[in-house]
């Protein structure tokens, strides 16, 4: 997916010799978490809003250069990787550079999130299933084989958590033969953490437990 068209320049980057008062004024008018700082179109880093309000308005950006957060993406970075960098730096503005590290503009987080919302993982009707297995024992090829062998389809799949040497994998699946998919996962030693649709395996276990309780109470 090409995302060049989402590069914007509504707010110009600040030159390194600018005064802090200029950055503070921009932050008071906008909701951006950071502002890009450049020196003759060469990107140097970002000044955060929190830091900007800690400095004297008479200081120059050059004087506080040590506080800059240096993060960016390139113009050919995939949108999923762009989203990852947003998450890593907890920001809502992302500088975009060309191959010579010249500043081109920036992405806004809301624009990249809209791309994610347009992905089949989000809009296709299906079931969200979360499975868990030892990090050294699972593979995406095995997961795909389990799903497809039950005539279901994968709309999306990603590792959603690591915990005590276990990997948690979240899947968005088509609804065909979902119970067959879940039972096959169990045969392959995957733990079903959650499943959005009805799981007949759990229902069967519950029915058997209820029957056993009635028998023991006779």
pLDDT tens-place string over residues 54-113? 999 999 999 999 999 999 999 989 887 898 899 899 999 999 999 888 999 999 999 888
Q: What is the assigned CATH class of domain 120-212?
A: alpha beta
DSSP 9: -
All CATH 3.30.70.260 domain ranges in the chain, comma separated = 120-212
The arrangement of strands across the sheet holding 73-74 comes to: 73-74, 93-97, 103-108
1 — pLDDT class (breaks 50, 70, 90): low
The reported pLDDT for the residue numbered 107 is: 96
Q: How confident is the prediction for the chain on average, in pLDDT?
A: 87
For residues 45 and 69, the answer to whether their CB atoms sit within 8 Å is yes
Q: How far is CA 89 from CA 69, 83, 145, 173, 216, in A?
A: 9, 10, 36, 31, 58
For residues 96 and 107, the answer to whether their CB atoms sit within 8 Å is yes
39 — pLDDT class (breaks 50, 70, 90): very high
Q: How many CB atoms lie within 10 A of CB 203?
A: 11
Give tens-digit pLDDT for 129-168.
999 999 999 999 999 999 999 999 998 888 888 888 999 9
Q: What is the mean pLDDT of residues 124-129?
A: 83
Least confident of 40-54, 77-91, 201-215: 201-215
The reported pLDDT for the residue numbered 210 is: 57
Residue 30 has pLDDT above 90, yes or no: yes
Does the domain at 4-116 match CATH 1.10.3720.10? Answer given as no
């Amino acid at each position: 997916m090409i995302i060049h068209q989402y590069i914007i320049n509504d707010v110009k980057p600040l030159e390194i010799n600018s005064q802090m008062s200029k950055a503070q004024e921009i932050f008071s008018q906008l909701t951006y978490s950071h502002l890009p700082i450049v020196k003759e179109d060469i990107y140097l880093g970002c000044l955060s809003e929190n830091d900007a309000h800690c400095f004297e308005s008479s200081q120059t950006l050059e004087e506080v250069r040590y506080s800059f957060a240096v993060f960016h993406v390139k113009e050919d970075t995939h949108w999923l990787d762009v989203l990852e960098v947003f998450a890593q730096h907890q920001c809502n503005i992302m500088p975009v550079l060309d191959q010579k590290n010249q500043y081109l503009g920036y992405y806004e987080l809301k624009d990249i999130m809209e791309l994610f919302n347009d992905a089949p993982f989000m809009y296709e009707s299906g079931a969200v299933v979360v499975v868990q297995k030892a990090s050294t024992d699972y593979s995406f090829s095995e997961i795909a084989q389990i799903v497809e062998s039950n005539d279901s389809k994968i709309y999306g799949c990603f590792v959603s958590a690591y915990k005590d040497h276990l990997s948690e994998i979240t899947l968005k699946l088509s609804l065909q033969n979902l119970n067959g998919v879940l039972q096959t996962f169990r045969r392959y030693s995957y733990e079903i953490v959650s499943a959005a649709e009805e799981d007949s395996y759990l229902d069967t276990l519950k029915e058997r437990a209820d029957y056993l309780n009635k028998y023991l109470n006779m």
